[in-house]
Amino acid sequence: MFQVKSPAKLDSLSGTWLGHQLTFSYNSASKTWIALAGVSLETTPGKYALELTGHRSALNSPLTFTRTFPVTRAKYPVIKVELKVEKKFTEPTPEQTAQIEEGVKIKHDYLNRVTPEREWSGKFVAPAHAEISDVFGSQRIFNGKTQSPHLGLDFRVPTGTPVAAMNDGTVLLARPLYYEGNFVVIDHGQGLLTLYLHLSEFKVREGDVVKRGQELGLSGGTGRATGPHLHVAVRWQGTYLDPSRLLQLPLP
SS3 107: helix
The distance in angstroms from the start CA to the end CA of the chain is 11
3-state secondary structure of 63: strand
Q: Residue 243 to residues 76, 163, 236: CA-CA distances in angstroms?
A: 14, 15, 11
Which residue in 17, 74, 137 sits closest to 4, CA to CA?
17
Length of the chain: 252
Q: Which residue is nearest to Zn ion (CB)?
A: 231
Question: In the complex with Zn ion, which residue's Cβ is closer, 88 or 156?
Answer: 156
Nearest distance from C-beta of residue 50 to Zn ion, angstroms: 31
Q: Considering the complex, what minimum distance in angstroms separates the CB of residue 230 from Zn ion?
A: 8
Query: Given the complex with Zn ion, which of 190 and 222 has the nearer CB atom?
Result: 222
- CB 142 → Zn ion: shortest distance, Å? 12
Q: Which residue of 152, 169, 220, 243 would you call a contact of Zn ion, by CB under 5 A?
A: 152
The count of residues interacting with Zn ion (CB under 5 A) is 3
Question: Interface with Zn ion by CB under 5 A: which range of 18-26, 138-146, 147-155, 181-189?
Answer: 147-155
- Considering the rule CB under 5 A, would residue 231 count as an interface residue with Zn ion? yes
- The answer to the question of residue 15 lying near Zn ion (CB under 5 A) is no
**Given 33, 111, 154, 232, the residue binding Zn ion (CB under 5 A):** 154
Q: What is the dihedral of CA 35, 38, 44, 46, to 10 degrees?
A: 30
Q: Shortest Cβ distance from residue 87 to Zn ion (Å)?
A: 20
Phi, psi of 109 (to 5 degrees): -70, -40
Binding site for Zn ion (CB under 5 A): 152, 154, 231
